[in-house]
Amino acid sequence: MMIRTLFLAVTLMFITGCSAMKIDDFADTGPEFVPEEYFVGHTKAWGFFQDRFGTVRREFVVDIQGYMDGDVLVLDEDFVYADGEIDNRVWRIRDLGDGRYEGEADDIIGKAIGERRGKALRWGYDFDLEVGERTWRVTFDDWMLLQDENVMINRTTVSKWGFTLGEVYIFFQRQPDAAVGADVDETSAGGGEAVAYQAHQAAE
């Protein structure tokens, strides 16, 4: 119950405040979000995709195993959707210095570009979405805000040609084998960038 209440509260905050956010606004905020520290170990996430009309189209749970491969952060993400579909994505993330990051995954076009300040990390990336015989290139504007050592919230805007197709909201929590000083409620709902397909459906 505590997780669901917090999830709703931070979602409302994101809905009302993200459009005006700039990464430099978080320069003096804390706790400092360092992805290669936060994501090492087991993290669980709960999320949903909401279309541009405010309708929740899909819910999912993600189990993430993170580890360092030299100086590369590897995130192995297993998604389970409420309708039973499963998916997997593996991210490889590099710290470029000065708060800059780049990330790669199989379905990302080129590289994701990230920038970190204080408690916040912002990612931007594109990928080609195949729908029937057509391919749509869509853009993800991805914000992560660390709340404490164990909890992080995420909002992603999915767009094409600058037109918003929908948004994804995700609540992350480090699990007991990785968490710092917290008991974890493992109650789950019911995974990933396949939500972009739902965004396309909502746009048609």
Q: What is the per-residue pLDDT across 69-119, written as a single tens digit (0 to 9) for each? A: 999 999 999 999 999 999 999 999 999 999 999 999 998 999 999 999 999
pTM of the model: 0.77
Distances (CA, A) of 193 to 108, 127, 176: 10, 10, 26
At residue 108, φ and ψ (nearest 5 deg) are -95, 135
Distance separating alpha carbons of residues 48 and 189, to the nearest angstrom? 10
Mean pLDDT over 167-196 rounds to: 63
Q: Is the pLDDT of residue 187 over 70?
A: no
Other beta carbons less than 10 A from residue 58's beta carbon? 23
3-state secondary structure of 30: coil
Query: Per DSSP, what are the bridge partners of residue 153?
Result: 145, 171
pLDDT number for residue 176? 84
- The more confident residue out of 172 and 21 is 172
Q: Is the pLDDT of residue 134 over 90?
A: no
**Domains of the chain (ranges, CATH numbers):** 2-203 (2.40.128.20)
pLDDT number for residue 180? 59
Residue 91, CB-side half-sphere exposure with 13 Å CA sphere: 25
189, 177 contact by CB (below 8 A)? no
Q: How confident is the model at residue 201 (pLDDT cuts 50, 70, 90)?
A: very low
pLDDT number for residue 135? 77
Alpha helices in 32-145 (DSSP H): 35-38
Which residues, 6 or more positions from 42, have their beta carbon under 8 angstroms from its beta carbon? Answer: 63, 64, 65, 66, 174, 175, 177, 178
Q: How confident is the model at residue 178 (pLDDT cuts 50, 70, 90)?
A: low
The tokens for 177 are 């084998």
pLDDT number for residue 3? 47
What does the mean pLDDT of the chain come to? Answer: 83
User: How far apart are the two ends of the chain, measured CA to CA in Å?
Assistant: 36
pLDDT number for residue 15? 45
Distance separating alpha carbons of residues 178 and 38, to the nearest angstrom? 9
Query: Per DSSP, what are the bridge partners of residue 137?
Result: 128
pLDDT number for residue 128? 78
